Amino acid sequence: MLDIIRSNAQSFGVKVAFGVIILVFVFWGIGSFTETGNVNVVGTVNDEPITYQQFEMAYRNAEEAINQQSPRKKWTAEEKTQLGRQVFQTLVTETLINQEARRNNLDVSPYELRLYVGDMQIFQDEQGRFDPERYKKVLESSRQSPAQFEEDLTRRLLQEKMVAFVSAGSWSDVTEARARFNFLRQKRVIEYIYVPADSEKTAAYAPADADISKYYEEHKIEYAIPQKASVQYIEVDPLSIVKPESVTEEAARAWYERNKDRFNVPESVEVAHILVPVDKNAKEDAVAKAQEQVAAIEQELASGKDFAAVADVHNPPNAADKGGRIGWITRGMTVPAFEEAAFAAEQGVVTKPVRSEFGFHLILVSGRKPASTQTFAEAEASVRQAVAAEESRDKLSDILDALTEDNILGKPLAEAAKARGLEARESGLLSREELISTLKVTPEAAQTIMSTGVNQPLDVPLEAGEQYIIARVVENSPATFKSLDEVRSDVIARLRSAAGLEAAKTELEGVLKSAGTELADAWKKQLKLSEPVDRGASVKPFMPQAELEEAIFKAEARKWLPTVFTVATADGSGALICRVVQIQDPADQEWQQFEGIMVNLTQRERADGLFQAFMENLVSKSKILVRNQDIIDRKNM
């Protein structure tokens, strides 16, 4: 729940602020960082303390947010240290920004705070009004008091003000934005000659035994057979030790009552729309033209035409499904203007035109479901799964300890698994990489398996993705190489291919020497024209070739590139020479669609650059002391 509240309460600017500071703290413990021991204070920023309580609360909040996204996450000591340092860096950032805000007489008034909280959807009722009871209930479920939340939010809003204050001097330049757009969206057409590494021309090429042996020795690693091991193992899913069907109805009902809020179903409407796109920053003539289109569509609908049929004619690509259908939506799923109109609309009646950042919408609501709470009967299956998962986590340690003990004592794993409702399996011979991909074990665990003798148990459970495995090595084969006799035909084929490619390159090098004057007629006939190539995309029909793609967008028009490029197709490899014959900048119509986005992006990057420079300067002048490294690094915690 806390992450939802934070997502409502934190702007892009503040996120940028926290991102920038990471760039400043390049080396941990160097520069203005000094460690001195103090149990109650984790660090100081210009003599202002970051207390143990502040740090612990911030750490727990960050940890909880990650655990909500990855419920089965198992924290390593290194990950805890990394998170602790990130949390400390964030607290240092917050403190520096707050200090600078105070220095510049910036604050957040109670009125501003009240307005901001009132606008947060998570605290609003079905009519979009602030609900004090819902406010308290949401905070209680997040284990926060209103005072704590408002203090935290005030601090964040102050930081946001500071970001805006520092970035106020940034400005946007339409010319710069257009130049950047042209750069990103420019296409180029090339004229090229391609000569394949023709195996038929080199079929008669018979490499000497010495060349074959030399190639084999130089590329022996490519013919390596890695060490392999086979393990018998038991897979233990932390959330499946207890089966949902074994949960009693009494336990399930009690859990349902404790967690009833999880089964609230918000009000929803089923909607379709017709969109006439126009950028939110479009000029007046473009807006007027869009309004004329909307009016014409309204006339079509008024004449009795079917909404779905009209939508299919007028909607741009990806605006909606067939018939303009969007489907069922709840509050918060769409942009505010669209949402407000959809939930206020009368069912079966097309709305008046609604303007959003995407353009003008005509909305048709075809269904409506009021807010409700799933009954126990409706939610029973998911409730039983949740209870089973909780009970499974509680029993996990005991199960793993018992299975590990049986494994160390040499008891048959099949019997140990069966006694606990599990199953023993055998992996078959797998390499280290195959163990990682097949069993989902960590690289360290795979190496442990490889270094364990045959019929020997692994004395600890291994992490395997979101599960654990108890394993015993049952077979092991050492690393070796395929013999030259086994791979001779492959080596010969490779040598012939290399000879063919070298011949093709030599041939085209000769063509390049004469290309400055006039191509021979035979080569003119082999000239081909590519499709327009996007920046960063490959030249069809060739596979991606970074050197070629980069050279094309650096080249002058009509000049042959001085390099013979090695390229590959689905049928094989070859050599290529080329020149750019056409440079296509994006059309004005395309620019008009993206002008607002690109201008905003340019403005935002200027603002980010200003703020980054400000923060780097602020840190360089500040005295930041680490007073308790062990707490930050989560040592023995």
Tokens of 585: 């900048």
**Crossing angle, helix 77-103 and helix 588-621, to 10 degrees?**
90
At residue 265, the pLDDT reads 86
In contact, 327 and 321? CB cutoff 8 Å: yes
Tokens of 359: 């353009």
Instruction: Name the DSSP letter for residue 457.
Output: B
Query: For 335-378, what is each residue's pLDDT tens digit?
Result: 889 999 999 999 999 999 999 988 999 999 999 999 889 999 99
Residues ≥6 apart with Cβ < 8 Å to 115: none
Query: For 461-508, what is each residue's pLDDT tens digit?
Result: 999 988 899 999 999 999 999 999 999 999 998 998 899 999 999 999
- Say how many CA atoms lie within 13 Å of 560 toward its Cβ: 20
At residue 357, the pLDDT reads 86
Query: For 41-64, what is each residue's pLDDT tens digit?
Result: 999 999 999 999 899 989 988 888
Query: For 511-548, what is each residue's pLDDT tens digit?
Result: 988 766 678 888 889 999 999 999 999 999 999 999 99
At residue 538, the pLDDT reads 93
pLDDT more than 90, % of the chain: 54
Mean pLDDT of the chain: 87
At residue 237, the pLDDT reads 87
CA dist., res. 594 & res. 597, Å (int) = 5
At residue 15, the pLDDT reads 44
Task: Lowest mean pLDDT of 20-24, 32-36, 518-522, name the range.
Answer: 20-24
For 232, phi then psi, to 5°, come to: -95, 135
At residue 504, the pLDDT reads 92
Band (297; pLDDT cuts 50, 70, 90): very high
For 256, phi then psi, to 5°, come to: -60, -45
Does 11 score more than 50 pLDDT? no
At residue 39, the pLDDT reads 60
CA dist., res. 326 & res. 332, Å (int) = 15
HEC profile of 332-397:
CCCCHHHHHHHHHCCCCCCCCCEEECCEEEEEEEEEEECCEECCHHHHHHHHHHHHHHHHHHHHHH
Tokens of 99: 């200090």
CATH domain 267-370 topology: Chitinase A; domain 3 (3.10.50)
Residues of the chain with CATH 3.10.50.40: 267-370
- Mode of pairing for the β-strands spanning 430-431 and 228-236: antiparallel
CA dist., res. 151 & res. 153, Å (int) = 5
- Say how many CA atoms lie within 13 Å of 168 toward its Cβ: 6
Residue of 91, 95, 139 lying closest to 117 (CA atoms): 139
Does 281 score more than 90 pLDDT? no
Band (139; pLDDT cuts 50, 70, 90): confident
At residue 201, the pLDDT reads 65
Band (303; pLDDT cuts 50, 70, 90): very high
At residue 9, the pLDDT reads 41
In contact, 276 and 360? CB cutoff 8 Å: yes
Does 10 score more than 60 pLDDT? no
Domain 227-243+392-478 class, CATH top level: alpha beta
Superfamily of domain 2-169+612-632: Porin chaperone SurA, peptide-binding domain (1.10.4030.10)
Helices and strands, counts by H and E, the chain: 22, 22
CA dist., res. 34 & res. 37, Å (int) = 10
At residue 6, the pLDDT reads 40
At residue 38, the pLDDT reads 53
Average pLDDT over residues 244-254: 91
Does 14 score more than 50 pLDDT? no
Residues of the chain with CATH 1.10.4030.10: 2-169+612-632
At residue 454, the pLDDT reads 95
Does 214 score more than 50 pLDDT? yes
Higher model confidence: residue 268 or residue 518? Answer: 268
At residue 205, the pLDDT reads 82
Q: Please tell me whether the overall predicted TM-score, pTM, comes out greater than 0.85 for this model.
A: no
CA dist., res. 575 & res. 573, Å (int) = 7
Does 143 score more than 60 pLDDT? yes
